[in-house]
């Protein structure tokens, strides 16, 4: 199923100028201008200028009359388009199918890659947040149809349009969201047609005769009834292997064979360049001009063709070949230097300690569930249990930190801790009974307390010290419970983990 993101950059020219020069401040209006006949008119206005009442197409003299200290820069549309292509190259980090949508947007086909970011909503949030941190205003929407995503991003609230709901999502939007020529737009307005849903409800034949096939095509594209191709941007410097097939293929075994052949070709290129793959994109072009893409990553640089081809094995079956696939492209969209390493020297030493190479295993798991979900825990210098570990990449080098050897800690920690109802025979003693998850436990043995004080340097001002107890119940369960304050101060009991 196709899922396309339309990224809208409402103030791209002025945002680009501010990023390049650092001026003027964001609270001061900035516009770019160009010549139209004998007049100079506003071509782009930043958010502050729009709040001041300036808009695209306004004569510069009128704009300067409204805002005396207006910052004016000559428009450079060629540089805007070139920068937009650079932004598209950056967005390849999200999907292999990315294309500029001049003058103020990008197309990103995220079918098959959204799960790597935790889902479509999370991907959109990550994309717009990163742009905002770079000083670029943006709004994004994702839908089955590029036209629907374009319309919702610019004239709707943005976000995720559920699968198969493109027509519903655009029905209430203005007909400006159809991307039709200004004269056709004026003609529609004269007839009182303001919403896409009104246009869609008209009889088809009279509508086409009156407004032309181009308007009908845009309507079909917005409602997901007509296919709209996206030509992906492939970086020239990226190692690429492509194969145009004389006869379209569709069988899974054929796809696997072609992918392996392309992987071998790609690895030969990488070997000459002394590089290995960290991210690999597979683009499949169907005979009906529809495309499908898959993306996999590796935990570290790799150019083993068989291993790289196997990363696609489990996901090739998700590609719908339709009437056949006529072209397949394999792109190493992210590479790292990789030099040859001697891993064995027979007869020279009997003490060769070969570490288990878990890189292929990590790559296979990452291809299946997403590389972000494959990690390991590293020690952190803290005594607060929730802070004693942090996530690092599965194959990251050792951090040098270690946990204290004689510090008993549960094999599983509950985060956050869960409340328990406990009864102690004496104040500030370990519990004799406690109720956790509707099950009553009778304590047979207890050890403690171990007092852990709050870390004020980590923002724990005002928090109480915790008294931890290791308890063993008559049923044999071993738990780690704590009281968050002395009994006299109304301390409550919490379950924080259990031992194996």
- Identify the burial level of 372 via C-beta atoms within 10 angstroms of its C-beta, where 0-12 means exposed, 13-18 middle and 19 or more buried: middle
6: left (phi over 0), alpha (psi -120 to 50) or beta: beta
According to the model, what pLDDT value does residue 347 have? 53
According to the model, what pLDDT value does residue 61 have? 92
Give the span between the Cα atoms of 468 and 498, in whole angstroms.
Answer: 12
Give the span between the Cα atoms of 431 and 470, in whole angstroms.
Answer: 10
Give the span between the Cα atoms of 175 and 191, in whole angstroms.
Answer: 12
> Containing H/E element for 222?
helix 213-222
pLDDT in tens, 243-298: 999 888 989 999 999 999 999 999 999 988 889 988 888 888 888 877 888 888 88
Residues with pLDDT less than 50, the chain: 352-353
- Identify the burial level of 451 via C-beta atoms within 10 angstroms of its C-beta, where 0-12 means exposed, 13-18 middle and 19 or more buried: exposed
């Amino acid at each position: 199923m196709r899922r396309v993101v339309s990224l809208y950059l409402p103030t791209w020219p002025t945002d680009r100028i501010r990023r390049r020069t650092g001026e003027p401040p964001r609270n001061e209006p900035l516009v770019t201008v160009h010549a139209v006949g004998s007049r100079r008119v506003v071509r782009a206005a930043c958010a502050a200028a729009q709040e001041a009442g300036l808009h695209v197409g306004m004569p510069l003299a009128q704009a300067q009359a409204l805002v005396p200290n207006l910052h004016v820069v000559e428009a450079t549309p060629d540089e805007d388009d070139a920068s937009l292509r650079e932004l598209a190259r950056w967005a390849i980090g999200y999907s292999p199918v990315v294309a500029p949508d001049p003058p103020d947007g990008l197309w990103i086909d995220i079918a098959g890659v959204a799960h790597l970011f935790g889902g479509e909503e999370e991907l959109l949030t990550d994309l717009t947040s990163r742009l905002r941190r770079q000083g670029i205003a943006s709004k994004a929407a994702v839908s089955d149809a590029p036209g629907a995503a374009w319309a919702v991003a610019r004239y709707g609230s943005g976000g995720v349009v559920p699968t198969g709901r493109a027509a519903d999502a655009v029905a209430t939007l203005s007909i400006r969201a159809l991307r039709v020529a200004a004269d056709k737009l004026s003609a529609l307005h004269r007839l009182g047609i303001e919403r896409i849903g009104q246009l869609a409800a008209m009889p088809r034949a009279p509508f086409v005769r009156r407004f032309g096939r181009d308007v009908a095509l845009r309507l079909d594209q917005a409602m997901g009834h007509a296919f709209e191709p996206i030509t992906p941007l492939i970086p020239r410097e990226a190692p690429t292997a492509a194969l145009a097939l004389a006869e379209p293929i569709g069988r899974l075994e054929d796809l696997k064979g072609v992918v392996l052949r392309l992987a071998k070709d790609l690895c030969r290129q990488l070997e000459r360049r002394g590089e290995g793959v960290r991210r690999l994109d597979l683009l499949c072009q169907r005979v009906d001009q529809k495309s499908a893409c898959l993306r996999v990553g590796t935990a570290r640089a790799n150019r083993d063709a068989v291993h790289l081809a196997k990363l696609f094995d489990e996901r090739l079956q998700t590609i719908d070949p339709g009437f056949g696939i006529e072209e397949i492209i394999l792109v190493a969209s992210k590479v790292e230097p990789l030099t040859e390493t001697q891993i064995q020297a027979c007869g020279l030493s009997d003490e060769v300690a070969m570490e288990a190479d878990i890189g292929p295993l990590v790559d296979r798991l990452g291809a299946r569930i997403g590389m972000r979900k494959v990690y390991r825990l590293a020690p952190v210098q803290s005594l607060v249990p929730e802070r004693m570990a942090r996530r690092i990449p599965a194959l990251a080098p050792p951090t040098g930190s270690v946990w204290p050897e004689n510090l008993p800690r549960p094999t599983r920690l509950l985060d956050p801790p869960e409340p328990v109802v406990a009864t102690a025979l004496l104040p500030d003693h370990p519990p004799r009974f406690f109720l956790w998850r509707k099950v009553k436990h009778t304590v047979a043995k207890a050890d403690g307390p171990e007092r852990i004080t709050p870390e004020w340097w980590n923002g724990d001002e005002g928090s109480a010290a915790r008294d931890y107890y290791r308890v063993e119940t008559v049923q044999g369960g071993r738990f780690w419970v704590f009281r968050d304050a002395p009994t006299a101060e109304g301390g409550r009991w919490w379950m924080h983990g259990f031992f194996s």
